A and B are shown apart, each in its own frame.
Chain A
């Protein structure tokens, strides 16, 4: 194993443990970096220790003691130091004591603290990517198209609130777990969608966001194996991500699901996603993520677009609407209805949505109308819908697609 690999795989877990031991995000971040710097210097000569994680935690701990000693003129630091030096658990930090079995994985505490609902959602996302994903502030800023100082400020404020309002560093009690896990899943899915349906920005970073969200999804599945919705979320992300290669054409243009070359779908991700979906649906009454995974699974099962089981998909959307009424779910259901019962039925549902006005301003609403109008060869309606969609869409790739569709409709 190389140091870089250890860093990638272990730094979040090491940081999570140090935050627990030191009671401070900033101090823990600082000494984690320092411990890895020492490793980079020493390991090439001494070889990698038998338990690198324990070595790094213990090295970081001594760095923290050093740092605090230099600041002991401040009364409160003296207390922290005292707590640190007399910490019993730390005294037992010898390699032999730290087999994985008797050392808790603190990442779960870290996830729940970073995704605490008392923090702004943008801060939850940033803090999760920074501490659990190990992304640099610059990278997070770039991914969310925010100036670096703004992102840095957001992270500082979140950490200050955790410290000063005393947001606890713990796994919530059993009666609160599902509510709090829902908040964690929102953050993970937001990270995934930011990477998947980005409004713009660097493509490579976007792929990283998807990969990071999937990795976080794996962590919560691993640490909370009985939570079927976490499994549903992981399945959903894998099944979506499996189509990434096929979603864009040779010139980077957007390719609709029905036009995608299905041989480019990632079979490994599909197989894993399908197995997870099955197990999530089998073990508990399905939640919204598991249902969405099941819908995605039906697409994955279809060898060609024509073989898609739209009737079953409509039925799943009906269940989803009962669990989670939202106009966007209704819009997706309208598409499924159009595909299974005909475009006219779909258009009727869109008219109903239109009168309620909840989706005004959402570019995919007119884009769907344009698509259904195309199918019934109502070219004026299609052209008007695509024009409206273009006035709302911001993503360059989507805009190019909509412009092409508009030109086609106008030419008829």
Chain B
């Protein structure tokens, strides 16, 4: 079963890259290597900051385009991993090892499989 692990955190953290941020980047590389080797990794990326986000809505056939993220929040979505895990406990275990979990929050969302009826 697949889960999307959404990494939330204060994006201000990445504004100035110091030794702490450099260590964080190293930890992420290490982590990604680990879950790739274990076969859990299905995908993942770091997202650029919300100041570069654009939100699109279509109402009555008309495109409405606004600057910024869908919702202003204290912690922003900064990246994600798509992983394969046998159950929620395994997914939680992987999420807890994401370096960003130490300074932000990880939301664990099951992917709805096409064959499963709702």
Contacts and interface: CB of A to CB of B under 8 A. Distances in A.
Interface of A: 74-76, 116, 118, 164-168, 172
Given A116-B88, A168-B86, 7 more contacts: A118-B88, A118-B92, A164-B112, A165-B88, A167-B88, A168-B87, A172-B89
A75 B88 contact: no
The 7 closest A-B pairs by CB, nearest first: A168-B87, A166-B87, A165-B110, A167-B88, A165-B88, A168-B89, A166-B88
Contact of A168 (B88, B108, B110, B115): B88
B74 interface: no
A116 B92 CA distance: 12
Contact of A166 (B110, B115, B117): B110
User: Max chain B CB contacts within 10 Å: which of A74, A116, A164, A172?
Assistant: A164
Interface of B: 1, 86-89, 92, 108, 110, 112, 115-117
Contacts of A166: 1, 86-88, 110
B87 A167 contact: yes
User: Max chain A CB contacts within 10 Å: which of B87, B89, B110, B112?
Assistant: B89
A76 B88 contact: no
Contacts of B89: 167-168, 172
A74 B88 contact: no
A76 B115 contact: yes
Nearest to B93: A176
Contacts of B117: 74, 76
Nearest to A169: B87
Contacts of A74: 117
A108 to B, nearest CB: 15
A91 B12 CA distance: 60
Contacts of B92: 118
Given A118-B88, A172-B89, A164 B110 contact: yes
A43 to B, nearest CB: 38
B18 to A, nearest CB: 34
User: Max chain B CB contacts within 10 Å: which of A76, A118, A165, A172?
Assistant: A165
A116 B115 CA distance: 26
27 contacts: A74-B117, A75-B115, A76-B115, A76-B116, A76-B117, A116-B88, A118-B88, A118-B92, A164-B110, A164-B112, A164-B116, A165-B88, A165-B108, A165-B110, A166-B1, A166-B86, A166-B87, A166-B88, A166-B110, A167-B87, A167-B88, A167-B89, A168-B86, A168-B87, A168-B88, A168-B89, A172-B89
B63 to A, nearest CB: 33
User: Max chain A CB contacts within 10 Å: which of B86, B88, B112, B115?
Assistant: B88
Contacts of B87: 166-168
A118 B92 CA distance: 9
B52 to A, nearest CB: 32
Nearest to A160: B118
A312 B59 CA distance: 71
A74 B112 CA distance: 18
A76 B110 CA distance: 19
User: Max chain B CB contacts within 10 Å: which of A74, A75, A116, A166?
Assistant: A166
Contacts of B112: 164
A222 B110 CA distance: 35
A159 B108 CA distance: 17
Contacts of A168: 86-89
A399 B87 CA distance: 48
B102 to A, nearest CB: 18
A183 to B, nearest CB: 13
A125 to B, nearest CB: 20
Contacts of A164: 110, 112, 116
A167 B86 CA distance: 10
A113 to B, nearest CB: 10
Nearest to B116: A76
Nearest to B109: A165
Contacts of A118: 88, 92
B101 to A, nearest CB: 15
Contacts of B108: 165
A168 B93 CA distance: 13
